[in-house]
Amino acid sequence: MTYCGIVSIAGRPNVGKSTLLNRLIGQKLSITAHKPQTTRHSILGIQTVGERQVVYVDTPGIHVTGKQRLNQVLNRTASSSLHDVDVVILVLQAMVWNDDDKRAFELVSNSGVPFFIAVNKIDNIRKKEEMLPYLGTLPTHENLQGVVLISARKGSGIDSLEEQIGKFIPEGPWRYGEDELTDRSARFLASEAVREQLTRLLSAELPYALSVEIETFEESADLLRIGAVIWVDKPSQKGIVIGKGGAQLKEVGSRARATLETLFDKKVFLECWVRVKEGWADDERALRSLGYDNQ
């Protein structure tokens, strides 16, 4: 007898959804950074233990407002991932409850799916009893199955979360192979690894103005050769990404390469270029051509 279920990881940006997915799968599948909108795509993390396969869906965060098309597409992706799932994990940040959390709670509780609240980043709280008043103010709902305190970064509470979720995974055939970890291609993971470092190393708004496309991806027995194009909005941004004497781009490349060598367990040769593509964040067609879509 086998079990298989889909678990959606929901919540506003920056609460630690992607960090949680990576922790659950034990691999860096989804990129993380201390900035909202780091995750632009839904990504699946597949965990198969014994007879049970759990497919976790990491989503872009749920935003209250979205002026740009990119924001609207991100919200649509986030809401659509709440249906046709078996359980939702609504991630909150310990001691924080704001308008975006409230909206995420409403979306999740209205989806009709059983859900858990995972209160994340408890490693930041020195005295755990200080959390009691906060926990008391969280709303309740008939579909809410429990509240679990976790640290996605440090790993605490994860076993308990997995155990409680396990009870909601129905009997059924596996959807993925036993060894599969994600639905995403190696090319996609490569482009995300580059975007992660750009998001981390560049300041302020610039990361939102860029996207990464993999032009070449050649695998041989002992080497992975990857060519990545970094698309920016304006000519002025090109120089910022490249940095003085190319230092910034070099740093991005070498950090992304380290991530990819761990992920693929292989030597990686990574080359990055910067090119200008104006106004893409407002042009839905351009978004599609770069792979940002609901699918």
- Flag whether 13 is marked binding: yes
- Flag whether 15 is marked binding: yes
Q: Which one among 8, 22, 39, 109 touches Mg ion, defined by CB under 5 A?
A: 39
Q: How many residues bind ligand GDP (CB under 6 A)?
A: 21
Give the pair of three-digit tokens for residue 278.
């104006």
Q: Which one among 18, 53, 93, 151 touches Mg ion, defined by CB under 5 A?
A: 18
Pairing of strands 115-120, 87-93: parallel
- Flag whether 60 is marked binding: yes
Residues 124-183 that bind ligand GDP (CB under 6 A): 124, 151-153
Q: Is 41 in the site for ligand GDP (CB under 6 A)?
A: no
Give the pair of three-digit tokens for residue 143.
């579909």
CB atoms within 10 A of CB 38: 23
Q: Which is nearer to ligand GDP, 123 or 162 (CB)?
A: 123
Least distance from C-beta 110 to ligand GDP, angstroms?
Answer: 20
Helix (H, G, I), strand (E, B) or coil at 180: coil
- Tell me how far the alpha carbon of residue 45 is from its chain's centroid: 10
Question: Which helix (DSSP H) or strand (DSSP E) does residue 237 occupy?
Answer: helix 235-242
β-bridge mates for residue 55, sequence order: 6, 46
Least distance from C-beta 67 to ligand GDP, angstroms?
Answer: 19
Residue type, 231: W
Rounded to whole angstroms, the Cα distance separating 198 from 211 reads: 9
Closest to 124 in 3D by CA, of 115, 134, 116: 134
Q: Is 33 in the site for ligand GDP (CB under 6 A)?
A: yes
Q: Which is nearer to Mg ion, 4 or 192 (CB)?
A: 192
Q: Which one among 6, 10, 13, 280 touches ligand GDP, defined by CB under 6 A?
A: 13
Closest to 81 in 3D by CA, of 50, 54, 113: 113
In angstroms, the first-to-last Cα distance of the chain is 31
16 binds, among Mg ion, ligand GDP, none (CB under 5 to 8 A by kind): ligand GDP
Q: Is 121 in the site for ligand GDP (CB under 6 A)?
A: yes
13 binds, among Mg ion, ligand GDP, none (CB under 5 to 8 A by kind): ligand GDP
Q: Is 120 in the site for ligand GDP (CB under 6 A)?
A: yes
Closest to 100 in 3D by CA, of 113, 88, 91, 112: 91
| CA torsion through residues 67, 70, 74, 80, sign | positive
Alpha helices in 243-289 (DSSP H): 247-264, 284-289
Q: Which one among 4, 25, 32, 148 touches ligand GDP, defined by CB under 6 A?
A: 32
Q: Is 62 in the site for ligand GDP (CB under 6 A)?
A: no
Least distance from C-beta 293 to ligand GDP, angstroms?
Answer: 19
Kindly report the CA angle at 82 between 75 and 42, in degrees rounded to 5? 60
153 binds, among Mg ion, ligand GDP, none (CB under 5 to 8 A by kind): ligand GDP
Rounded to whole angstroms, the Cα distance separating 33 from 210 reads: 15
- Flag whether 58 is marked binding: yes
111 binds, among ligand GDP, Mg ion, none (CB under 5 to 8 A by kind): none
Residue type, 291: G
Binding residues for ligand GDP, rule: CB under 6 A, are: 11, 13-19, 32-34, 38-39, 61, 120-121, 123-124, 151-153
Chain residues binding Mg ion by CB under 5 A are 17-18, 39
Q: Which residues are annotated as a binding site for GTP?
A: 11-18, 58-62, 120-123
